[in-house]
Amino acid sequence: MNDQINPQHREGKVAEAIEEQTAKLPSDIFLWAAIASMGASLTLKILGRKHTALFVGQWAAPFLLLGTYNKIVKLEGHDAADHK
């Protein structure tokens, strides 16, 4: 599988900067943010704020995607080869 890796490939400066900052965040912060958005959505729904509840409830999926990105960056980011 290592023969499929392009040794000339380098991340751009922007990607490296984003990965460096993202890797500082604990992965579970995104899980808790998703759970909080679902809880806030439920509360808004109970209070009769249907459209706001739907809007806030839709935040859960992006938070979970950001958490997945965060985990991948920590495991396979631009600096992973430096640490192996």
pLDDT grade, residue 2 (50/70/90)?
low
DSSP states along the chain: -GGGS-TT----HHHHHHHHHHTTS-THHHHHHHHHHHHHHHHHHHTT-HHHHHHHHTTHHHHHHHHHHHHHHHHHSTTHHHH-
**Quick check: 79 pLDDT over 70?**
no
Query: Tell me, what's the pLDDT at 12?
Result: 75
